[in-house]
Structure 1
Amino acid sequence: MIAKADYVAGIAKGLAVLESFDTQRQRLNATLAAERAGLTRAAARRHLLTLAHLGYLETDGSYFWLSPKVLRFSGSYLASARMPRAVQPTLDRLAGLTGESFSVVVLDGDQVVIVARSGTARLLAYGLHLGARLPAHATSTGRVLLAAKNRGDFAAWLKGRELPRLTAHTVVEPRALKALVDQVRQQDWCVASEEHELGVHALAVPLRNMEGRTVAALNAVAPRQRLEPQAMRKDLLPLLLESARELRPLL
């Protein structure tokens, strides 16, 4: 927690406006930004204009959108953070060995964020690029990271949370998701089939540091025509588990 005197509300509001932009809404006006950031329209407008003045947004006078300048933050993180550099050689080796796509992902609220990846150039509908944010409840990595929470913390995370349906296969009923997360907690890996995108299967295992704390998840993604879930467990799960053991001293 932070002391009230140390909390800079202006920074928090400005960041809330920046975070209002996502893959569903790339362009926002003051009204939409206010709704998404929980601000008044007048406050949202001032923040949008300030961010545009600083170069973090572009505008046509009515709508605003992110400018390339925002990539300074992600670029600095990827260049300086220890985890992406530590896991990249392993991801490259796995991709070269199997021809599939591999990622390392961390949890951020109700989403997972890709911090390292390697593999085929094929882009899925929601993207597999660095920094891509995916819904935790519908992804193999998200469930692995949710399973790392104790039951009380996971119950608090789940309480009152809306679970969007992305495909006909997406699990959106809280009790069903809880059962799946309990299963992942027991078996220590997860397969998600066509829940995030039709035709795509994903397999994930936790990445733990030397203290035994789960700090990220490692996953493999393959289109349906190349690998069925059973084949993923047979062919890829041993590789992922061994890679997780090898990475542990580096995390």
Structure 2
Amino acid sequence: MKMGTLILAEQPDYYVKSAEKTLAVLLAFKGGNTALTVSQVAAATEQTRASARRFLLTLVDLGYLEIEGNTYRQTPRVLDVGAAYLSGLTLPRAAISHLQQLARELDETSSLCVLEGQDILYVERVSAPRLHQMNVSIGNRLPAWTTSMGRVLIANLSAGERAEFLKGIELRRYTEHTVGSLAELNAELDRVAGQGWSLVNQELDEGLRGLAVPVYRGNQLLGALNVSVQSGRADDFSISQTLLPALRRAAKEIAADFGGRAD
């Protein structure tokens, strides 16, 4: 027997075959196989159609797959399986020292996020030295359209990707400052795309402003870098003259540490 390979007769008592089959069904959606029928999944996992259908429907009920006609597709929730691992990925490791420096320099909380489905996912975060606890931690999500980081990331999508993203948005008023229409949001995204940064003023939380810039390595968008500022702590001048230059510098340093820019 090869090392790491279990022959059926030699599987230990604890071995759960259904767990193996569940993972096999999820892993069938790879290599460009974004939409699969029951028959295709059955063939890929060496199961009967009846068995494959049961696993597929269970994964639909759990939110990991969705049905479109006679095919199944993965949903963004499959990324939850690896979300806990994100804090150990290369990008967060490359960013952590720069986030710490940014938090010390500005005395504000700094964060790094990526776009995951309709949400932003926090992959690294350093709270301001003056704060003893933070409300958002690594792995937490927020609706992307309501945040400065999310708007930076959405604004950098292609026109088709942005249009598709906007179709999935359910607008709601978090505060009296929250954008009230898709037209207003789209105009804001155009502004963000043109200026290269986003400032969200009390749209998700009263009294809190978020400033974000994209983190690019060459033409590859890695994520978005942000500082959160209480509305009374920074005026427009300090945001443009102090916070924004510091964020842009940190974004370049994170990209360089992650592998260097191509331009």
Q: Same fold (TM over 0.5)?
A: yes
| CA displacement, residues 57-94 of structure 1 (integer Å, 9 cap, x when unaligned) | xxxxxxxxxxxxxx995443323x11111110100111
Where do 4+ consecutive residues of structure 1 move more than 6 Å?
none
Larger Rg belongs to: 2
In structure 2, list runs of 5 or more residues that go unmatched: 1-33, 42-51, 68-79
8 Å contact 2:118–2:168 — kept in the other structure?
no
Matched position secondary structure for 2:92:
helix
8 Å contact 1:193–1:229 — kept in the other structure?
no
Amino acid at match of 2:117: G
Over 3 Å counting, the alpha-carbon distance change for 1:11 and 1:87 in structure 2 is farther
Name 2:235's counterpart in structure 1.
228
Amino acid at match of 1:233: S
Matched position secondary structure for 2:111:
strand
Name 2:246's counterpart in structure 1.
239
Task: Kindly report which structure 2 residues correspond to 1:7-46, keeping only aligned pairs within 5 A, or say none.
Answer: 9-10=56-57, 12-13=59-60, 15-16=62-63
Name 2:226's counterpart in structure 1.
219
Matched position secondary structure for 2:211:
strand
Amino acid at match of 2:114: V
Amino acid at match of 2:56: A
Task: Kindly report which structure 2 residues correspond to 1:1-251, keeping only aligned pairs within 5 A, or say none.
Answer: 1-4=34-37, 5-6=40-41, 9-10=56-57, 12-13=59-60, 15-16=62-63, 74-79=83-88, 81-120=89-128, 121=131, 127-159=135-167, 161-210=169-218, 212-249=219-256, 250=258
**Alpha-carbon shift at residue 227 of structure 1 (Å):** 1.4
TM-score by length of 1: 0.71
Amino acid at match of 1:77: L
**Alpha-carbon shift at residue 119 of structure 1 (Å):** 2.2
Amino acid at match of 2:180: V
Matched position secondary structure for 1:171:
coil
Kindly, what percent of the aligned residue pairs are identical?
31
TM-score by length of 2: 0.68
Structure-2 separation of matches of 1:237 and 1:75: 30
In structure 1, list runs of 5 or more residues that go unmatched: 18-36, 39-70
**Alpha-carbon shift at residue 16 of structure 1 (Å):** 1.7
Structure-2 separation of matches of 1:143 and 1:135: 10
Structure-1 separation of matches of 2:233 and 2:150: 23
